[in-house]
């Protein structure tokens, strides 16, 4: 049965060896995801999901971070939806549980 979570927040950047862009999953939604994560994770706490912003749908994984999760927002998604660093967006996240 799929689990759907709508996550809203700004696009933030994490500067590692390569820059990544994310939306941080708020605590309430992160708690809901954590309850089912063990059933779907494929290692290191990564949770496979299908995401949607506007008309753009992609597959990715939620990354665990500081007892929460972040959603990686691919460059092609940001370009297609005309989103930049700091822009507020809503991501529909679908987990298969």
For residue 35, give the nearest of 71, 75, 69 by alpha carbon: 69
pLDDT for 41 equals 83
pTM above 0.85, yes or no: yes
- CA separation for the pair 53, 57 (Å, rounded): 7
Question: What's the CATH class of domain 2-96?
Answer: mainly beta
pLDDT for 17 equals 65
pLDDT for 53 equals 98
Provide the 8-state DSSP code for 86: T
Helix (H) or strand (E) holding 37: helix 27-40
Instruction: Give pLDDT < 70 ranges for the chain.
Output: 1, 16-18, 97
pLDDT for 67 equals 81
Helix (H, G, I), strand (E, B) or coil at 1: coil
């Amino acid at each position: 049965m799929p689990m759907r979570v709508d996550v809203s927040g700004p696009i933030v950047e994490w500067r590692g060896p390569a820059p990544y862009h994310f939306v941080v999953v708020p605590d309430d939604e992160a708690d809901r995801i954590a309850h089912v994560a063990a059933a779907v994770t494929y290692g290191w706490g990564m949770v496979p999901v299908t995401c949607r912003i506007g008309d753009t749908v992609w597959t990715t994984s939620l990354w665990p971070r500081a007892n929460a999760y972040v959603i990686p927002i691919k460059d092609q998604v940001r370009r297609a939806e005309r989103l930049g660093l700091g822009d507020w967006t809503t991501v529909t996240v679908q987990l298969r549980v």
